[in-house]
A = this chain, B = another copy of it.
């Protein structure tokens, strides 16, 4: 196991312990808690929590302050997948090789499990506020995450994505950028910036992480688009070729596969370059960008 792999595993263990503790709260309705746990434990990479914790450590912060935020960003990511898989949205029966939430619990409970995860993300973040080392920094981190996840961030991207697939909107570069920046890059940037803000990072580091997040988020989505075209359904745990069937606006659709692959390499390189001035401490994030560009699922 490399140093990178060990660090990622450490982050994963920390956030999963935290999520387990939060989900074990006996006040949550039992069926709701099961539905939330089903999707939270369905084999996610815990990418956003790892980015958040790495940004916090790069900013010399305390992981204790970052953990509620890391758990919350994974809840927010998971709720967005549950709602995205619904028949009225992307209509996916499988997610990471398992039946989607609504295939197991029914659509009504899946909607509520998504609502529940979004609301609970804010509950756990707010509950920790009085215990944060610096409450102002912590509150800034929560606000950044909520703005990036919300109606001018991730939800705006989902809206544009849905409307385009339904036949409205032109297949332009501007439209593609809007969809992907918001649908994918915003929550990734939100995780990075929240990790840095909670640690009281200076403007120079915040700017660098903002640049890294934009490039990395874009690269992540281009890779997603390419995997839908070229990937192995059994490794992906979901069907492939779906974007084209559903008239999604993607990088390969607009630029062709070759150009999209070149853009993926360029974005990945730009993400690494943004953090170069920060030396060894930024190695985890640089390697994460490189790994995500060559992932098979």
- Contact surface of A with B, Cβ cutoff 8 Å: 25, 27-29, 31-33, 36, 79, 83, 86, 88-89, 102, 106-112, 114-116, 118-120, 122-123, 126-127, 129-130, 135-136, 139, 142-143, 146-147, 149-152, 155-156, 158-160, 162-163, 166, 182
Contact = CB atoms under 8 A, between A and B. Distances in A.
Count of this chain's copies in the oligomeric assembly: 2
Contacts of A27: 151-152, 156
A86 B127 CA distance: 31
A29 B116 contact: no
A21 to B, nearest CB: 14
A29 B156 contact: yes
A32 B112 contact: no
A198 B81 CA distance: 35
Contacts of A163: 31, 109
B28 A119 contact: no
Contacts of A127: 143
Nearest to A115: B155
Contacts of A135: 135
A70 to B, nearest CB: 18
Nearest to A163: B31
Main secondary structure of the interface of A (DSSP, over half): helix
Can you list the 8 inter-chain pairs with the closest CB atoms, starting with the nearest?
A: A88-B107, A27-B152, A29-B156, A119-B150, A116-B151, A126-B143, A88-B108, A32-B159
Given A28-B156, A130-B136, A158-B112, A120 B150 contact: yes
Nearest to A87: B107
A123 B108 contact: no
A143 B36 CA distance: 21
A37 to B, nearest CB: 11
Contact of A152 (B25, B89, B155): B25
Contacts of A112: 83, 155, 158-159, 162
Contact of A122 (B28, B36, B86, B122): B122
